């Protein structure tokens, strides 16, 4: 194929899904001339699966992306059609915001945002090869022969790389939503020696809204008080669209069991490993044979379409079987399928081949993000895209990398899990993966991360000023509440009304707020001096007060964690020469080259005994260096 030079950029992003969008926007907003390439511009911020953003654990990621200056939260606030806060019956550490988005409007709004970014060019074109010179990624080659050069490349291919669709016996090469797959690039990456693997995911059918009987389903409404995703927004008012809940039953399961042999999953056609936490309906029926029913959520795909998403029913069964089992479900007896369910298999990289910056260990200047890294989900992709974009810019500028650790953010947990522990299935973030989740709440993501985003040059001044305003307001009001004393005569009528014990002597409002029954809002009648705080400010302050004791304990745990993270390890260490390390540990440490003792301790195959040996080795080296320094001074 004849090639021809078409332009030069600082950074090229391959892919325009949720990872690619955040990577491209971050790189350009930090001052780099950036090119984003998509196999089809209809795939920009596309939601080929559920048209929702957030959820348990995932909502935390969106808030963190927003706090660092990313776009996902802002775009969701523009385009959501229903919003709910999940897990409100539990503690604030696991409260998770989830919004149903208008799929088409989400895509169009993000595309418009990208088009308006001065340093970001977006073009339709299929990348078929990388430009590699002296082990460094220096650009891309398109199917047309066009060559674009750059100083760094970010791979964010989603599920397009060697994509293959499965619907029963029908198997064909395709990307998600019937778009073209990227076949040649997958071959080139293998030729370059990248450790590739095969993963699988799936999506359920879409049905025509007018063919459903909602009288047989349970309505699911959004929250009356809408909580925005972006810290830039205080209040959002919007008419929300209703979702619906229904269930499978024994008849549904009978149809599915009778057709196991026609499933691509059970027929041996699918090689890729699927997500354990989001199995297909045939996998659920097989694995949980004792379950009498499984819940389904019927969710609208947008305001300008009749398509309804049937959450919880992804499948690789043929279309006739899909039609048959859907018709056994209450409310779906007469449903008309608009798009059948399918499974999709795709290529991704073993994330153990990545540095903490998401730069590839093999090819210099090649950064990787999103489902290409073995993760699942729009939110995980956006978080990685943002971090890859930031670190690509910092590398070009010769600055220190931007790495969030496990005590700072869910983003830190996500990336550390992927590049340190690896994954044998599509990785999904969960609150249970975070050891310090009481510190990593949704409400304080800006207090944790906005300062850092400002330091790297991504957070704009207006956002930073808003953050400083919140920080100051929370600090001042917390101090005032500690000083503000309330007499028993004034407090007890309220306390009795709230069902909590009266006080015998004057207490501060701060102490009263530590009681579970007492909230900042319901103390208004005994506190006439309170300032006007925003919802973001009130929420963060109240959680910090109520969970102050637990937070202090977690801070102590984080201190211990930081000590191990602070023990840095040189990439020049040859672990095979350290006496006492087991052979497996030597091999794993030499392969992964951890940046700290803390990271080394989380590598599979490295035991606590190995870490003790490593600490002794570091201490001996420290003393040896100190002794040599003293001798040189004496001479």
First vs last C-alpha separation in the chain:
67
Mean pLDDT of the chain: 94
Tell me what pLDDT residue 235 has: 86
- Asked if the structure places residue 280 within a domain, the reply is yes
What's the domain count of the chain?
3
Same domain, 271 and 332: yes
- Asked if the structure places residue 31 within a domain, the reply is no
> What does the pLDDT look like over 336-394, one tens digit per residue?
999 999 999 999 999 999 999 999 999 999 999 999 999 999 999 999 999 999 999 99
- Asked if the structure places residue 310 within a domain, the reply is yes
> What does the pLDDT look like over 128-169, one tens digit per residue?
999 999 999 999 999 999 999 999 999 999 999 999 999 999
Which of these three, 554, 586, 617, is where a domain ends?
554
> What does the pLDDT look like over 432-483, one tens digit per residue?
999 999 999 999 999 999 999 999 999 999 999 999 999 999 999 999 999 9
- Asked if the structure places residue 384 within a domain, the reply is no
DSSP state of 131: E
Same domain, 520 and 622: no
Which of these three, 523, 554, 585, is where a domain ends?
554
Report the CATH number at residue 220.
2.40.30.260
Same domain, 336 and 232: yes
Residue 628 has pLDDT above 70, yes or no: no
- Asked if the structure places residue 539 within a domain, the reply is yes
Report the pLDDT averaged over residues 95-110.
97
Report the CATH number at residue 519.
1.10.10.1800
Higher per-residue confidence, 621 vs 284: 284
Same domain, 549 and 576: no
- 278, 58 Cβ separation under 8 angstroms: no
Same domain, 493 and 606: no
Which of these three, 521, 554, 587, is where a domain ends?
554
Same domain, 330 and 289: yes
- Asked if the structure places residue 30 within a domain, the reply is no
Same domain, 328 and 263: yes
Same domain, 497 and 618: no
- Asked if the structure places residue 303 within a domain, the reply is yes
> What does the pLDDT look like over 114-137, one tens digit per residue?
999 999 999 999 999 999 999 999
- Asked if the structure places residue 32 within a domain, the reply is no
Report the pLDDT averaged over residues 300-318.
96
Please give the backbone phi and psi of residue 40, each rounded to the nearest 5 degrees, phi first.
Answer: -160, 130
Residue 22 has pLDDT above 60, yes or no: yes
CA distance 631 to 615: 24
Residue 635 has pLDDT above 60, yes or no: no
Same domain, 548 and 602: no
Same domain, 234 and 288: yes
CA distance 375 to 378: 9
Same domain, 309 and 333: yes
Give the domain range for residue 587.
567-634
Same domain, 289 and 225: yes
Assign residue 79 a region: left if phi > 0, alpha if psi is -120 to 50, beta otherwise? alpha
Neighbours of 256 (CB within 10 A): 25
Residue the block writes with tokens 């009528």: 493
Residue 273 pLDDT level (bands cut at 50, 70, 90): confident
Tell me what pLDDT residue 627 has: 67
């Amino acid at each position: 194929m004849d090639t021809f030079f078409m332009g030069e950029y600082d950074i090229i992003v391959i892919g325009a899904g949720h990872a690619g969008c955040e990577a491209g926007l971050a790189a350009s907003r930090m001052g780099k001339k950036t090119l984003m390439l998509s196999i089809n511009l209809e795939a920009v911020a596309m939601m080929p699966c559920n048209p929702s953003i957030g959820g348990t654990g995932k909502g935390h990621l969106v808030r963190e992306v927003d706090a660092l200056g990313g776009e996902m939260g802002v775009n969701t606030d523009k385009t959501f059609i229903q919003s709910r806060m999940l897990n409100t019956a539990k503690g604030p550490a696991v409260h998770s915001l989830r919004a149903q988005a208008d799929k088409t409007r989400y895509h169009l709004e993000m595309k418009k945002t990208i088009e308006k970014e001065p340093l970001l060019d977006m073009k339709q074109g299929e990348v078929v090869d990388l430009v590699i010179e002296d082990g460094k990624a220096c650009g891309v080659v398109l199917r047309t022969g066009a060559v674009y050069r750059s100083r760094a490349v970010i791979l964010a291919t989603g599920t397009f790389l060697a994509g293959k669709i499965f619907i029963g016996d029908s198997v064909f090469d395709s990307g998600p939503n019937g778009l073209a797959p990227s076949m040649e690039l997958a071959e080139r990456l293998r030729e370059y020696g990248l450790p590739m693997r095969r993963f699988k995911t799936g999506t359920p059918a879409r049905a025509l809204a007018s063919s459903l009987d909602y009288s047989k389903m349970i309505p699911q409404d959004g929250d009356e008080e809408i909580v925005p995703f972006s810290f830039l927004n205080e209040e959002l008012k919007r008419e929300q669209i209703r979702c619906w809940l229904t269930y499978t039953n024994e008849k549904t399961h009978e149809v599915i069991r009778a057709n196991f042999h026609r499933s691509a999953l059970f027929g041996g056609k699918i090689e890729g490993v699927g997500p354990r936490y989001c199995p297909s309906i045939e996998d659920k029926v097989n694995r949980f044979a004792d379950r009498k029913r499984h819940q389904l959520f019927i969710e609208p795909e947008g305001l300008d379409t009749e398509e309804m998403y049937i959450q919880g029913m992804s499948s690789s069964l043929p279309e006739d079987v899909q039609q048959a089992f859907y018709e056994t479900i209450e409310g779906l007896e007469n449903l008309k399928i608009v798009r059948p369910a399918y499974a999709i298999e795709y290529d991704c990289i073993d994330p153990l081949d990545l540095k903490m910056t998401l730069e590839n260990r093999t090819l210099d200047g090649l950064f990787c993000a999103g489902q290409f890294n073995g993760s699942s989900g729009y939110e995980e992709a956006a978080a990685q895209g943002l971090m890859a974009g930031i670190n690509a810019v910092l590398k070009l500028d010769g600055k220190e990398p931007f790495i969030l650790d496990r005590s700072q953010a869910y983003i830190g947990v996500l990336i550390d899990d992927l590049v340190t522990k690896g994954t044998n299935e599509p990785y999904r973030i969960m609150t249970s993966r975070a050891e310090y989740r009481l510190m990593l709440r949704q409400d304080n993501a800006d207090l944790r991360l906005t300062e850092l985003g400002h330091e790297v040059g991504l957070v704009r001044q207006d956002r930073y000023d808003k953050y400083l305003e919140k920080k100051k307001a929370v600090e001042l009001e917390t101090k005032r509440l500690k000083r503000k004393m309330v007499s028993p005569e004034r407090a007890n009528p309220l306390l009795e009304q709230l069902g909590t014990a009266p006080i015998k002597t004057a207490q501060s409002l701060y102490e009263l707020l530590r009681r579970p029954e007492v909230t900042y809002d319901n103390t208004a009648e005994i506190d006439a001096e309170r300032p006007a705080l925003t919802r973001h400010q009130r929420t963060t302050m109240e959680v910090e007060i109520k969970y102050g004791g637990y937070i202090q304990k977690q801070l102590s745990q984080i201190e211990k964690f930081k000590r191990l993270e602070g023990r840095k390890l040189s990439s020049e260490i040859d672990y095979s020469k350290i006496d006492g390390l087991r052979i497996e540990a030597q091999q794993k440490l030499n392969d992964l080259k951890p940046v700290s003792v803390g990271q080394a301790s989380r590598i599979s195959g490295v035991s606590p005994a190995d870490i003790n040996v490593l600490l002794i080795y570091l201490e001996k080296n420290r003393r040896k260096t100190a002794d040599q320094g003293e001798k040189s001074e004496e001479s």
